[in-house]
């Protein structure tokens, strides 16, 4: 009986600690419109992501997401798995190498072509 009382007492704190409209902004590497489409269209399909806008010029992504459904670190990992480095996670070489030639943001000549 005591166990149930403790669960009932602490349950509101567990729910309050998570935001259903959390906002996040962070850097995601990319260089072109194809990167923009890939990043935005893929992240918006994640369960819990409500809005995803990536700025080609600044490299900043603006997200609105439900912390009850997805964690920010999971979003970072997902974007890295697409082939794009984030502030927290570097994309695996296999994922990066699978990007189109115009999207190779680690190549200085490609970056120069997009400026």
Q: What is the pLDDT of residue 69?
A: 96
- Closest by CA position to 103, among listed 53, 45, 59, 49: 59
Q: How many CA atoms lie within 13 A of 16 on its CB side?
A: 5
pLDDT tens-digit series, residues 16-39: 567 789 999 999 999 999 999 999
Per-residue tokens: 74 = 């999971």
Q: What is the pLDDT of residue 6?
A: 46
Q: How are beta strands 22-27 and 49-54 bridged, if at all?
A: unpaired
Local structure of residue 28 (DSSP, 8 states): B
Q: What is the pLDDT of residue 36?
A: 98
Domains and CATH numbers, the chain: 19-113 (3.30.70.100)
Q: pTM for the whole thing? A: 0.81
pLDDT tens-digit series, residues 39-98: 999 999 999 999 999 999 999 999 999 999 999 999 999 999 999 999 999 999 999 999
């Amino acid at each position: 009986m005591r166990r149930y009382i403790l669960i009932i007492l602490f349950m509101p704190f567990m729910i309050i600690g998570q935001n259903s409209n959390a906002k996040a902004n962070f850097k995601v590497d990319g260089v072109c419109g194809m990167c923009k489409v890939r990043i935005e269209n893929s992240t918006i399909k994640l369960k819990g992501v409500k809005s995803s806008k990536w700025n080609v010029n600044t490299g900043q992504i603006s997200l609105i997401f439900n912390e009850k459904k997805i964690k920010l670190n999971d979003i970072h990992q997902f974007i890295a798995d697409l082939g794009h480095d984030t502030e927290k996670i570097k994309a695996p070489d296999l994922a990066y190498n699978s990007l189109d030639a115009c999207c190779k943001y680690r190549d200085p000549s490609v970056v120069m072509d997009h400026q």
